[in-house]
Structure 1
Amino acid sequence: MDDIVYENITVQYCFPENNASCRKEVRTGPAYIFLFIVLSCISVCTVFLNLLVIISISHFKQLHTPTNLIILSLAVADLIVGLIVMPGNIMQLIDSCWYLGKLVCIFFPLISSLSVFASVLSLVLIAVDRYIAVCDPLLYPSRVTVCKMSICIILGWSFCVMYCVIYMYFNDHLITTQLYSTCYGECLLLMKYSWLIFDFVLSFLIPFFVILILYGLIFKVARRQAKSVRAVCNSVSKEQEAKVPGSSETKAAKKLSLAIFVYLLCWIPFYLTSFSVETFSTSSIVWTFFGWLLFFNSSINPIIYAIFYQWFRVSVKLIMTCRIYDPSSSRFNLFHDGV
């Protein structure tokens, strides 16, 4: 199939040799070029920042704690978003054709859903971890260990994989003969309205209420602890305050709550808007905009760590100056002034 010219307008096709080929829309205007550059920079920054988090927690033994293991899990999910999901969506945004074949078309939405769902799971685990640390600080070291947390994370990722496979299967997206396409060179995921509601309940509503309840209890305990401290001493020094059971955990919970707030800010518009249509397609403008809002959450998480956590700032400095190649670098102290 050759390109056809209608009144000086050239109609191009994704695969000119195939009679069933889709029409090709290459968006090359100044606005799209600017958008391509911006989104590409976001993708690169997402990969770079989350790699810093992964290297930091993996390399420095001082960071091998249950809480940091969850942050590591979150960073891995966010890395997948920046490394695979964002570039794939940028490619579809600039060029309407899908050149990677049906097999990749099957797995790309699967990986995208897995990374997003794993991020939600990590945020729930963070809330549970902080709840135990604040409400039962004396027993926390024995109840939550690195080994137990590792098992929880592995089981959580396994559940995410199973759920995403089931979700894609019931949306007729795991069998090449059932892939929805109007022409050759198209890769779409049509989400059935019933499954969109089920996904909303499982991947947003339930985690939202779990996180909301746990953080509500955390801050209730934090206020009670603050009143107890003020009753004992009118002015408590930083050194004394750090020794109060649960005080450091309470501070950590407040910092991590910002990540939860950003998560809600990115997710709520996506689901509220998606309920306005009966069949939700990944090619729609609505999905593109709010889908990128979800992806952008993966870029913000490591920035939150950079702002609030000294260990991350110190570890980044050590990584960027190549001091991690020192044989003893894994045992460096990252908490010179406390966290």
Structure 2
Amino acid sequence: MDVFRALGNESLLSNSSGPARWDPFHHPLDSIQPWHFRLVAAVMFVVTSLSLAENLAVILVTFKFKQLRQPVNYVIVNLSVADFLVSLTGGTISFLANLKGYFYMGHWACVLEGFAVTFFGIVALWSLALLAFERYIVICRPVGNMRLRGKHAAQGIAFVWTFSFIWTIPPTMGWSSYTTSKIGTTCEPNWYSGAYNDRSYIIAFFTTCFIVPLLVILVSYGKLLQKLRKVSNTQGRLRTARKPERQVTRMVVVMIIAFLICWMPYAVFSILATAYPSIELDPHLAAIPAFFSKTATVYNPIIYVFMNKQVLYVLKVSSISIV
């Protein structure tokens, strides 16, 4: 495949003014101490283990208890599935690569990790956009008294996966590529190339897979907050009647904030690397946003459980019945 040839023929850390070229598939970067890689591997082991356990628990609990099988929870489970798969593929491969200090598994593993983390990460972001839009539909009722049903959630989930796949598969087919990062133990879209083929993809990718879902989130919650403020000022009794909806809305808002805190540094770094491909960045500094973004998979299950009174009630009742 073209992407394999691209990976094999370029070194992201090679300096055009220097004679040596570094091959991240055969040995570690000399400027980084071995214990740095082992530290990152330990962090990735903890993050990956927690993420796999937490997201699997959310999936199993939601499917086990009928009370939790509601449209909004379908989307949250979809978010957990995406986070679980990010950790299963990207987290595991990143952990193994950091144990060695370089991508000893070869090109195919690099492409797999780059595609998986990008694909499932975009599924997660679009799932949050879907949750925001669902909150807007339920509370603001722009289409009258139409009730959100399971089939609507299923259609939204199908759109999220299809759309995300359409925009993350091109680098495996020749439009840009997935390649090693500056530290050499994780893979991602080729932000660093100044070639038109790569920059055109990155611009299209960021527009459709980051800016658009972010706008959906901002517009949906902007409208929603206006509605809640209006209801609060004019009809206090309606605010009380919609208390469960407000609780779910707060939970979703916290999920979105946590996701953006984790992914925004990586997004900013990627935009910077794309806009200024010749910029010299320290590998340690360049690696932090990519690894930090993977911690987002840990927070959503915690937020979902501890800010969802329905889930806490179901778990409490089930534990009492077991005792």
Q: Same fold (TM over 0.5)?
A: yes
Distance in 1 (CA, whole Å) between partners of 2:212 and 2:177 is: 25
Match for 2:222: what amino acid?
G
Distance in 2 (CA, whole Å) between partners of 1:301 and 1:157 is: 19
Q: Corresponding residue for 1:81?
A: 86
Task: Give the direction of change, closer, same or farther, for the CA distance of 1:313–1:249 in structure 2 (3 Å limit).
Answer: closer
Q: Does 1:251 align with 2:244?
A: no
Q: Does 1:165 align with 2:164?
A: no
Match for 2:94: what amino acid?
N
Distance in 1 (CA, whole Å) between partners of 2:214 and 2:151 is: 27
Task: Give the direction of change, closer, same or farther, for the CA distance of 1:32–1:109 in structure 2 (3 Å limit).
Answer: closer
Distance in 1 (CA, whole Å) between partners of 2:129 and 2:144 is: 21
CA contact (8 A) 2:25 2:102 kept: no
Match of 1:122 among 121, 127, 133: 127
Match for 2:228: what amino acid?
A
Measured against aligned partners, the alpha-carbon deviations of 1:136-171 in whole angstroms (never above 9, x if no partner) come to 29955x442102211221232122112111244344
Q: Corresponding residue for 1:12?
A: none
Distance in 1 (CA, whole Å) between partners of 2:187 and 2:266 is: 21
CA contact (8 A) 2:71 2:150 kept: yes
How far the C-alpha of 1:122 sits from its partner, in A, is 0.2
CA contact (8 A) 1:171 1:190 kept: no
Q: Does 1:296 align with 2:295?
A: yes
CA contact (8 A) 2:97 2:104 kept: no
Q: Corresponding residue for 2:235?
A: 229
Q: Does 1:110 align with 2:106?
A: no
Match of 2:272 among 261, 276, 294: 276
Larger displacement relative to structure 2 (263-272 or 48-57)? 263-272
Match for 2:155: what amino acid?
I
How far the C-alpha of 1:120 sits from its partner, in A, is 0.7
CA contact (8 A) 2:52 2:88 kept: yes
Find the structure with the greater CA-based Rg: 1
Q: Corresponding residue for 2:256?
A: 260
Q: Does 1:56 align with 2:61?
A: yes
CA contact (8 A) 1:53 1:312 kept: no
Larger displacement relative to structure 2 (201-210 or 216-225)? 201-210
Aligned residues: 286
Task: Give the direction of change, closer, same or farther, for the CA distance of 1:173–1:210 in structure 2 (3 Å limit).
Answer: same
Task: Give the direction of change, closer, same or farther, for the CA distance of 1:21–1:64 in structure 2 (3 Å limit).
Answer: closer
Q: After the TM superposition, which residues 66-215 of structure 1 pair with which residues of structure 2 at under 5 Å, given as runs?
A: 66-136=71-141, 142-173=146-177, 190-191=190-191, 192-215=198-221
CA contact (8 A) 2:51 2:298 kept: yes
Measured against aligned partners, the alpha-carbon deviations of 1:280-306 in whole angstroms (never above 9, x if no partner) come to 99x954552111222111111111112
Larger displacement relative to structure 2 (70-79 or 313-322)? 313-322
Gaps of 5+ in 1: 1-19, 231-235, 327-339
Distance in 1 (CA, whole Å) between partners of 2:122 and 2:229 is: 32
Gaps of 5+ in 2: 1-23, 192-197
Distance in 2 (CA, whole Å) between partners of 1:210 and 1:21 is: 40
How far the C-alpha of 1:194 sits from its partner, in A, is 3.4
Match for 1:162: what amino acid?
I
What SS does the aligned partner of 1:23 have? coil
Q: Corresponding residue for 2:12?
A: none
Task: Give the direction of change, closer, same or farther, for the CA distance of 1:265–1:21 in structure 2 (3 Å limit).
Answer: closer
What RMSD, in angstroms, separates the aligned Cα atoms of the two structures? 3.5
Match for 1:219: what amino acid?
L
CA contact (8 A) 1:52 1:316 kept: no
Match for 1:217: what amino acid?
K
How far the C-alpha of 1:316 sits from its partner, in A, is 5.0
What SS does the aligned partner of 2:272 have? coil
Distance in 1 (CA, whole Å) between partners of 2:297 and 2:258 is: 10
Q: Corresponding residue for 1:7?
A: none
Distance in 1 (CA, whole Å) between partners of 2:112 and 2:63 is: 28
Q: Corresponding residue for 2:304?
A: 305
How far the C-alpha of 1:214 sits from its partner, in A, is 0.8
Distance in 2 (CA, whole Å) between partners of 1:296 and 1:188 is: 16
Task: Give the direction of change, closer, same or farther, for the CA distance of 1:62–1:170 in structure 2 (3 Å limit).
Answer: same
Tell me the TM-score normalized by structure 2: 0.76
How far the C-alpha of 1:263 sits from its partner, in A, is 2.0
Task: Give the direction of change, closer, same or farther, for the CA distance of 1:250–1:318 in structure 2 (3 Å limit).
Answer: closer
Give the percent of matched residue pairs that are identical in Structure 1 and Structure 2: 21
Task: Give the direction of change, closer, same or farther, for the CA distance of 1:25–1:321 in structure 2 (3 Å limit).
Answer: farther
